[in-house]
């Protein structure tokens, strides 16, 4: 069966510091991968989408970037965090475009 992992689970970072969140999927190959952000009490905002290694689509211009160095690894990064980057970050995978997305446990990021 497939599983999706995210780490860290919780992170507190000062403004201006770098960020690296990791997501890995097991039990499947060539998944579509997604990064979402959810601000407190709000809905889900799609940040990035990837259909393959090195292929990243960005949904909104922002302080964040994503990379996919391996088939089942998706990384969310920032060179300098802003207060507005605080939120709950969710990684998801799907077998094909438009099909069911399965979500990881998420990372809570607090930027102070």
53 binds other proteins per the rule CB under 8 A: no
Give the nearer residue to other proteins in terms of CB position, either 15 or 39.
39
What are the C-alpha distances in Å from 15 to residues 28, 35, 50? 36, 21, 28
87 bridge partner residues:
109
Does residue 1 belong to the site contacting other proteins (CB under 8 A)?
A: no
Count the alpha carbons within 13 Å of 52 in the hemisphere toward its beta carbon.
Answer: 0
Which of 44, 56, 58, 65 binds other proteins (CB under 8 A)? It is: 44
Residue 108 in the binding site for other proteins (CB under 8 A): yes
In DSSP terms, 94 is beta-bridged to: 32
Candidate residues 1, 54, 69, 100; the one interacting with other proteins per rule CB under 8 A: 100
State yes or no: residue 54 binds other proteins (CB under 8 A).
no
**Of 53, 107, 69, residue with least CA distance to 85:** 107
* Residue 80 near other proteins by CB under 8 A: no
Q: Is 77 in the site for other proteins (CB under 8 A)?
A: no
**Is 96 a residue that touches other proteins (CB under 8 A)?**
yes
Dist CA 95 CA 80 (whole Å): 33
């Amino acid at each position: 069966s497939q599983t999706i992992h995210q780490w860290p689970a919780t992170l507190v970072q000062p403004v201006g510091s770098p960020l690296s969140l990791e997501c890995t999927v097991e039990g499947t190959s060539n998944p579509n991968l997604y990064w979402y952000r959810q601000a407190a009490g709000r809905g889900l905002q799609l940040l990035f989408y990837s259909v393959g290694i090195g292929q990243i689509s960005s949904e909104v211009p922002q302080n964040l970037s994503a990379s996919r160095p391996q088939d089942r690894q998706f990384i969310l990064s920032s060179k300098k965090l802003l207060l507005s980057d605080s939120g709950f970050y969710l990684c998801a995978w799907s077998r094909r475009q438009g099909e069911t997305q399965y979500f990881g446990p998420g990372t809570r990021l607090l930027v102070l």
